[in-house]
Structure 1
Amino acid sequence: MPLMFQAFKAPALLSWPAQRSWPWLLVGALAYLSFGFTEMMGSDLWWHIAAGREIVENGSPWLTDDWSYTESGSPWRNHEWLADLLFYAWVQLFGVPSLVIWKWALIVASFCLLQQVLTRVSASPLAALLASVAGIAIAAPFLDIRPQLYTLLGIALLLHFALLRPARLRDLLLLFLIWVNLHGGFVFGLMLLGILLCPWRDMSILAVRNALLKWTACAAICLVNPDGLKIFWLPLVYALNADSPYRSLGEWRSPFEAGGIVSPLYAYSLVVAAALCLSWLLPVVRRRVAFSPEIFAMVLLSAAMSATSRRFVILWAMAFAILLAPFVAPFVAPFLRQRLVQPLMLPALLAIMIWAAMRVAPYSLYPPIAYHYLSAEYVYPHGLMDFVDVNGLKGNTFAFYNWGGYVHWRSDGQLKVFIDGRANTVFDDATYMQYVSVLGAKGKWIEIIENSGAQLFMWPRGRGGQRLIRGLLQTGRWRLLYQDVRGVLLVHQGFALPSPLRLPPDGVDSDLTAAFMASQKGDNVAALAAASRAHDRRPWGQATCTWLKRTLQANGQGREAESVMANCRARFPSKYLR
């Protein structure tokens, strides 16, 4: 048993459910699954899948950009190429909606492994479960379908290999060889490895040398990637360059700034962590929980990183769990030693399992429904891209930033965009700042679009889109080519179009568009008929439910509208069903 936790050993008298770790692990798996239903617009996911296809088509991870007209032919430093390849392979085998299963599997695997690590170091399965649940509760708002989940698993594996016990070099080398090609979080992994390998309790020359050799070997194997040495500084560009305009993106702002995703428990966890660390100064605490420089260093590092960018909150969440477990264990252990309490362990396990099951129960585990909501699939321009497909349109397209990846997935480079979510791995700061000017309709934004060489303009109606659409149409150089319920496609004068233009085939999106157009004309009867057809095709869809409710309300059928929405929420209780 590690030196840190010799003070409290597992009670010898514990009854069946408490003396083994697997029942607690089973309960934990269900609890972690219950935190896997974060709804987020996963705009990067689409280009990740498309990138996997691009790698297969080119037969190489060394790519040049052919998705944009601003950087066409430039090198694309895709440091997550292996993750993209796995995304595409998964989609080819199981379909896009099944990616929710991939997400749930990685989340559950990562936190179950973390729970096992905490069980080993705290000698308390219950303390490990409670700490791991606290960690995932902090991280939950950031758990979307992205390669960052591989970093969660990487951290859990690294802790399993090296936390408070000697690490085998071959395990570490294999871990970092894979991790470096999956996600840029490997850089944090190397920082964490330095903390774990440091001989805090034996600063002899031999111990320090061995630690340095292991760390150097792991850093060296990270050079086995398509970008070589560049891979080390690329993930740090956002983190260290405060002047980068990309830092204005919500996901890169500090958790203490407005905008972006918010973890309600984050600030509280910082206060609790600070109190726990300070409590190490008290003799009564030191007698129960020995000071651990490894854990203290991990907490300081992850807290500092998370304070600079909310992207690192998930790293903090795991560090907080590691800190919390040893403090909870000595208070749980005496409680579990009481003979009168031991028979209650099985009911306690069942109670926690029921709590977790109740958290999962409202949500659908059917992949098409779950994926529809967890990725906000309903916000993308399906109808516009159906029109592009059926007419074989090709050209330079000034598209909404968050739609760029979806355009790549659907058009495979036939529509080339101004900029997309690949950010500084392809585009420079000037290109992004020009996009920001257009987004806010600032300055000479129309000239930016036209001087860029854009032939098409694809934009949502919301997010200030109506102002941009009106501004372009008023120039007389742009005209409406097609519109659907989500946005519009404008075409610049002189752009050659196929003749005749064809409409997309009938489907959910065409029905929703018909409902939208009819409602714009004030034809509530036709709008209700079209919305009803769309809802019949997809009774669980966010847009189909919302539009049927709206049209029913417009026709004075308020009770029926609320009934429709209640049925939709019964299928998936999305906060965006309103």
Structure 2
Amino acid sequence: MFSLSLLRDWPSQTSWPWMLAGALIYLSFGFTEMMGSDLWWHVAAGREIVQNSSVWLSDDWSYTELGSVWHNHEWLADLLFYGWVNLFGLASLVIWKWMLIVGTFCLFQNLLTRLSGNALAALLACTAGIAIAAPFLDMRPQLYTLLGIAILLQLTLLRAPRLRRLLPLFLIWANLHGGFVYGLLMLAIVLCPWSDSSWGALRSAVLTWGACALVCLVNPDGVQIFWLPLVYALNADSPYRSLGEWRSPFEPGGITSSFYAYSLVVAAALSMTWILPVVRRWVPMSSEVIAIALLSAAMSATSRRFIILWAMAFALLLAPFVAALFRQKVLQLLMLPVLLALTLWAGSRIAPYPLNPNVAYHYLTAEYVYPHGLADFVEANGLQGNTFAFYNWGGYLHWRLDGDLKVFIDGRANTLFDDQAYIDYVTVLGARSGWVEKIESSGAQLFMWPRGRGGERLTRGLLQTGRWELLYQDVRGVLLVRKDYAVPTKLRLPDDSVDTQLTAAYLASKQGDNLAALAAASRAHELRPWGQASCSWLTRSLQANGQAREAASVMESCRAYFPSKYLR
């Protein structure tokens, strides 16, 4: 029989309804659209490890560092990427992402439930955390660090730390992602004998931490593994800090989190109130949590890449305060209604999005911005050579061409390239004084660039020198070649595909032939009715032919596949 006690107690006594609601919420935050340019070279690196039967790799993808040691400290993650792709296909990586995000935050929710004693508080805190982190949850090894954090806190906050559990964690973590360094900092905080200043307690903490740090040395780069992940974080003068993802969240440009600044204010307010004795009696919380929050907040203020670490620390800080509120009897009556409301809200968030891996992968990785057609042309004609390519395209070219086109620089950044290489690249990117000389003196034989990002200006500048010529162009970019480069006598065009049809639509539109552009765009849309580029080009072509109603209908059907803000 229904009663008020059932309304109050049932959700708090049963874990699976909360976990189900949490899983749906976390999945709903797993649809971040991002140009995941690093993903391609991570998968290619896994293939490289298999091909060479070694985790010690020398560079085979660039002409500037050819043969140099590549400090790939995420080799295990790359091997897992490649193994997954071989088993399930490239597009299935979205499933890997969803599983890792949902699994990590469900584990974290379980931790917060046990720490705070309230399932709703844990769910709300985890929801706040993933909302802060969501813009940064792309398909990269950093997701393993979030999982590592959740496991580490399970092993240290809920039970006495044991080396037999911690050592395997850090051994694996150190070879998956550089975030293990943050894990060691967290471990130092939780091992610190805050309430026991005896020599024995301090000695035990130091020995446990030291053993975990030593096991991290079991990696291809030895002791270098400790400072490689910190180069950007500690060196404010590094030119790589100009990359949007490494800038401070208080600087313009790059990825932003709408809730980040608010969370700092809330955390500061909660921390200051916790200093009051009456609040400390009301909100039982350990000093470790405050210390972890301070560490994470400081790191996130230096670089937005660390916001995902702050997101979990904020949830850890928030949960006990929310739990204290729901210990009030009047609020306990809201447990079941709030659970149902959160579950329905999560379902409504997921409903517009597809679980079809092909469609989801296309949008979540911004697959449509990469040079598929240019790579097809290179493959069709067996082209090889030194190529000054767009930075974000480097990883894709490695995956597709496996070193046939060797690039000037790519997203592996300081794990291979020095500062000067990036400075020279930025000189070209901005078409600054001497940019042509930078390209030509580098030994580049080909030039591959998107139409955006100053592509038209750079292309025009190279062609005006008289030393370069246009070899091929498609809807996304251009491929130029030095006139002394040995071009095959008879060039082959790529086989018919979505990209060749989009290219035909682009060229026809450029020549003012709107009917031909519409025909090609329609064919591309038939081949890929959910594609961002095919949808956008068909819409554009219909509008150019005065068919505004049909254009609106096409865009509506495209957004039904995936409600992307980039569909326009």
Q: Give the TM-score category using the shorter length.
A: over 0.9
Alignment deviations for residues 261-291 of structure 1 (CA, whole Å, 9 cap, x no partner): 0001000000000000000122331221135
Alignment deviations for residues 543-563 of structure 1 (CA, whole Å, 9 cap, x no partner): 000000000000000111111
1:189 matches 2:183: yes
The residue number in structure 1 matching 2:167 is 173
d(CA) in 2 for partners of 1:28, 1:155: 18
d(CA) in 1 for partners of 2:454, 2:485: 26
1:381 matches 2:375: no
The residue number in structure 1 matching 2:460 is 470
**Range 22-31 or range 308-317, more displaced:** 22-31
> Residue 489 of structure 1: SS of its match in structure 2?
strand
Which residue identity lines up with residue 564 of structure 2 in the other structure? S
Alignment deviations for residues 132-159 of structure 1 (CA, whole Å, 9 cap, x no partner): 0000000000000000000000000001
The residue number in structure 1 matching 2:110 is 116
The counterpart of 1:207, out of the listed 201, 206, 229, is 201
> Residue 472 of structure 2: SS of its match in structure 1?
strand
The residue number in structure 2 matching 1:7 is none
Which residue identity lines up with residue 55 of structure 1 in the other structure? I
The residue number in structure 2 matching 1:25 is 19
Change (3 A) 1:148 1:433: same
Contact 2:120/2:335, CA 8 A, preserved across alignment: no
1:498 matches 2:492: no
| Superposed displacement of residue 330, structure 1 | 1.2
Contact 2:285/2:320, CA 8 A, preserved across alignment: no
Which residue identity lines up with residue 288 of structure 2 in the other structure? E
1:529 matches 2:519: yes
The counterpart of 1:290, out of the listed 262, 267, 284, is 284
Which residue identity lines up with residue 203 of structure 1 in the other structure? S
The residue number in structure 2 matching 1:569 is 559
Alignment deviations for residues 440-460 of structure 1 (CA, whole Å, 9 cap, x no partner): 000111011111111110000
Alignment deviations for residues 343-379 of structure 1 (CA, whole Å, 9 cap, x no partner): x644432221111010000111100000000000000
The residue number in structure 2 matching 1:402 is 392
> Residue 490 of structure 1: SS of its match in structure 2?
strand
The residue number in structure 2 matching 1:312 is 306
Contact 1:504/1:510, CA 8 A, preserved across alignment: yes
> How is 1:90-489 mapped onto 2 (pairs within 5 angstroms)?
90-163=84-157, 165-335=159-329, 341=333, 345-489=335-479
Alignment deviations for residues 5-24 of structure 1 (CA, whole Å, 9 cap, x no partner): xxxxxx99953222122211
Contact 1:14/1:336, CA 8 A, preserved across alignment: no
> Residue 505 of structure 1: SS of its match in structure 2?
coil
Alignment deviations for residues 391-433 of structure 1 (CA, whole Å, 9 cap, x no partner): 1110000000000000100110111000000000010011110
Alignment deviations for residues 209-235 of structure 1 (CA, whole Å, 9 cap, x no partner): 111111000000000000000100111
| Superposed displacement of residue 499, structure 1 | 2.2
d(CA) in 2 for partners of 1:335, 1:47: 54
Which residue identity lines up with residue 536 of structure 2 in the other structure? T
> Residue 140 of structure 2: SS of its match in structure 1?
coil
Contact 2:33/2:366, CA 8 A, preserved across alignment: yes
> Residue 459 of structure 1: SS of its match in structure 2?
strand
TM-score of the two chains, using structure 1 as the length reference: 0.96
Unmatched 5+ stretches in structure 1? 1-10
Contact 1:246/1:423, CA 8 A, preserved across alignment: yes
The residue number in structure 1 matching 2:506 is 516
| Superposed displacement of residue 203, structure 1 | 1.3
Contact 2:325/2:331, CA 8 A, preserved across alignment: no
d(CA) in 2 for partners of 1:241, 1:281: 34
TM-score of the two chains, using structure 2 as the length reference: 0.98
The residue number in structure 2 matching 1:87 is 81
d(CA) in 2 for partners of 1:451, 1:157: 50
Which residue identity lines up with residue 463 of structure 2 in the other structure? L
Contact 2:23/2:106, CA 8 A, preserved across alignment: yes
> Residue 15 of structure 1: SS of its match in structure 2?
helix
Which residue identity lines up with residue 260 of structure 1 in the other structure? G
The residue number in structure 2 matching 1:556 is 546
d(CA) in 2 for partners of 1:295, 1:185: 19
1:542 matches 2:532: yes
1:60 matches 2:54: yes
> Residue 180 of structure 1: SS of its match in structure 2?
helix
> Residue 190 of structure 2: SS of its match in structure 1?
helix
> Residue 297 of structure 1: SS of its match in structure 2?
helix
Contact 1:21/1:119, CA 8 A, preserved across alignment: no
| Superposed displacement of residue 201, structure 1 | 1.1
| Superposed displacement of residue 293, structure 1 | 1.1
d(CA) in 2 for partners of 1:48, 1:499: 35
Which residue identity lines up with residue 313 of structure 1 in the other structure? I
| CA-based RMSD | 1.3
